[in-house]
Amino acid sequence: MKISVVGTGYVGLVTGTCLAELGNEVYCIDIDSRKVELINSGKSPIYEPGLEELLEKNLGSRLNATLDAHSAIANSEITFICVGTPPGDDGSTDLKYVESAAEKIGEVLAKKGAEGHIVAVKSTVPPGTSEKVAEIISSKGAKGFGIAMNPEFLREGKAVEDFMKPDRIVVGAAEEWVSGKMKELYSFTDAPILEVDLKTAEMIKYASNALLATKISFANEIGNICKKLGIDVYDVMKGVGMDARTSPHFLDAGIGFGGSCFPKDVKSLIHIARTQGEEPKVLKAVMHLNEGQPLRLVGLAKKKLGSLQGKKIAVLGLAFKPETDDMREAPSLKIIPALRDEGAEVIAYDPEAMENAKKLLGEKAKYAPDVKSAVEGAEAVFILTEWQQFRDESLYEGKQVFDGRKILNRKSGGSYEGVCW
Ligand code: NAD
């Protein structure tokens, strides 16, 4: 099929590249000329395992990046909207990028003739948004197009694998020809396809992320209690997760969730609930617990070391999770300033997120070129992201370790403290 993808971020570039790898002809559109140039030179603007290889393989033949939305949309039969939906100050979802993408699509479809063209919203959007997108497109004079809502469930760091081998596909649509064509596009996978209406598809994405975030905050709360009782919460959650009703995933206690999705989507769902006169108690508690969780590691360090004034502390892991360079809502953004406020000298290292981290943390930290130089001379080491290379026990000889992710297989006490075990 001929596909255009609006937005070449984590979702759009992975979607476009994987669809090209699967034999489709794909145009990836962005307004950011730097990203378009990078992609067309075979370089991925984001770090995502396996993505650059697929990009290089398909570039120029089945895959092209462009600033020219007009010809890309005009030359395709399905257009995905994969632009960002950042949070507003009140937790609401800022839909300006989605709306401006819809306007552009409307203008192009009105000229080319929209009959049989599908616009599929992949961005995470509040219920009712896809209908609004259709209205914007129609208002430009386009007629006969179909609208679909096709939420994306990929995990950063495993995005290519998740796109190629999804657990499930959700297709929201009001018309059978639209869901039929979307199912044809996804015929490469054996995953079950759930067909629902547009609003239900939109809500499935929020509810899925909210449940995963709830599992993490729940594990953290149990972990905080376990820490006081001298119990390892990982042993507890192993036992809990063995129950077939529970599933063992997303029960890893630690310094809390971050990233571009969970915090934003839970806050957005809280806002959506309030607009309907509902006060969401569970969701509020999930966020409240998560906001305090990173600073528990700093509290532990103060308890163990006394004043942090003038102490040299290595911070390993800046991205919100391993295998990504994404710094959005990363716990490091709370922990490093808090360490600085306590008078500590921070030397930070991350295998992929250093450039993005420097933009956000600036002079709050010094930056080491590799993990060994980061820990050299440090009195204490904070582990914030579970990168594989941080599992090397020899890095920590003679150091006081504060582990936020249970990366080392140790019990708390002496030179090792886990945040909730
Ligand atoms: P991102 O910020 O990485 O990328 C968005 C891209 O859209 C940027 O490159 C931006 O320049 C581009 N853009 C903005 N307006 C545009 C326009 N009018 N035309 C063309 N390009 C435009 O965002 P992301 O992380 O890929 O997320 C995109 C959406 O998918 C969000 O709604 C997010 O909630 C959702 N989502 C993200 C993930 C994830 O893991 N990142 C997973 C599932 C769903």
DSSP assignments along 198-264, one per residue: HHHHHHHHHHHHHHHHHHHHHHHHHHHHHHHHT--HHHHHHHHHTSTTT-STT---SS---SSSHHH
Known catalytic residue at 18: no
- Bridge-based pairing of strands 169-173 and 380-383 is unpaired
Which token pair is 171? 């297709």
**What is the reported pTM?**
0.95
Q: Which of 29, 260, 264, 266 gets mutated to test ligand 1 (max ligand atoms within 8 A of its CB)?
A: 260
Q: Which of 47, 48, 83 gets mutated to test ligand 1 (max ligand atoms within 8 A of its CB)?
A: 83
Domains and CATH numbers, the chain: 2-196 (3.40.50.720), 197-291 (3.40.50.720), 294-421 (3.40.50.720)
Catalytic residue among 18, 28, 82, 261: 261
The neighbouring-strand residues paired with 169 are 193
Which token pair is 185? 């596009």
**pLDDT score, position 278:** 98
Cβ atoms of residues 206 and 124 within 8 Å: yes
Distance 210 CA to ligand 1 centre (A): 19
For ligand 1, whether the C-beta of 356 sits within 6 Å is: no
- Ligand 1 atom with least separation from CA of 104: 18
In angstroms, the Cα distances linking 185 to 2, 7, 194, 365, 415 are 10, 19, 14, 47, 54
Q: What number of H helices and E strands is found in the chain?
A: 15, 14
Neighbours of 247 (CB within 10 A): 12
Encode the chain (421 residues) as per-residue pLDDT tens digits. 999 999 999 999 999 999 999 999 999 999 999 999 999 999 999 999 999 999 999 999 999 999 999 999 999 999 999 999 999 999 999 999 999 999 999 999 999 999 999 999 999 999 999 999 999 999 999 999 999 999 999 999 999 999 999 999 999 999 999 999 999 999 999 999 999 999 999 999 999 999 999 999 999 999 999 999 999 999 999 999 999 999 999 999 999 999 999 999 999 999 999 999 999 999 999 999 999 999 999 999 999 999 999 999 999 999 999 999 999 999 999 999 999 999 999 999 999 999 999 999 999 999 999 999 999 999 999 999 999 999 999 999 999 999 999 999 999 999 999 999 9
Distance 85 CA to ligand 1 centre (A): 7
Distance 74 CA to ligand 1 centre (A): 21
Span between the terminal Cα atoms of the chain, in Å = 51
